[in-house]
Amino acid sequence: MKKLKVLSVLSVLAITSCSAFSSSSKDVDMTNTSGFLSDYSLLSPVASSNDNIKIYRYVNPEFQRSDYKAVIVNPVSIYQPKTDEQGKTVLNNVQDSLNTSLSQMVSDKFPVTQTPGAGVAVVDVALTGAEVNGEGFKVRNLIPVSAVIKLATKATDTDKKQAVLLIEAKITDSVTKKLIGQSVTSISSEEFRDSNNTEAEFEASAQVWMKQAVQNASGYAK
């Protein structure tokens, strides 16, 4: 039942569009983007110790942390297709958990506010996903995250299909709308194969990936 439950969690996390990247090139492939970030061409790859996780980021060279005294944290965006009532409830639980985690993370560094103003930044995060081919990192199809899991469990040496969960984060100035930083983290379906069998496990993993994405966008990734 736990396995079925997490699949129901993941089945309601779907995408309308996604970002495409080239793992063999320093530049980001702009063929497909979600439009969530302001300018994907600014992104550059960042070294990752995990082969299943790829990181891309941009930090405005003019950004000075001392210029900001507070942060607005917008709700995490997860595309929600039409689902049954149980699916909606599960998705809302996951989304609430991510919102709480993000607010706590930001509040450890800055006061959290709802009021735009001078010295106030805005943090936005979105979860998306896609099927990619085995050559580089070029998107083939847009798929629900549940399909990411399915592709991982049936993968073979001859199967070229791969799937990824994408977490996009951006930080902007609340008044000027100027971009402070942005990032995309892609998590291969390999990361899902033997874990995340319950709603709680998925929430815990998503929280870690989300925090890393925001840290990358802010330039303070550890």
Lowest-confidence segment of 10-19, 35-44, 118-127, 158-167 by average pLDDT: 10-19
Identify the sign of the CA torsion 171, 205, 191, 93: negative
Query: pTM to 2 decimals?
Result: 0.77
pLDDT at res. 123: 98
- 211's enclosing H/E stretch is helix 199-218
Identify the sign of the CA torsion 21, 26, 30, 31: negative
- 101's enclosing H/E stretch is helix 85-107
pLDDT at res. 89: 65
**Which ranges in 109-189 belong to alpha helices (H)?**
145-153
- Confidence grade of residue 163 (pLDDT, cut at 50, 70, 90): confident
Does residue 76 surpass a pLDDT of 90?
A: yes
What pLDDT, in 10s, does the model give residues 34-71?
Answer: 678 878 889 999 988 888 888 999 999 999 999 999 99
What pLDDT, in 10s, does the model give residues 133-156?
Answer: 655 455 555 565 555 555 655 554
As a whole number, mean pLDDT of residues 72-90 equals 69
Of the chain, the percentage scoring pLDDT greater than 70 comes to 59
Domains and CATH numbers, the chain: 2-218 (3.30.160)
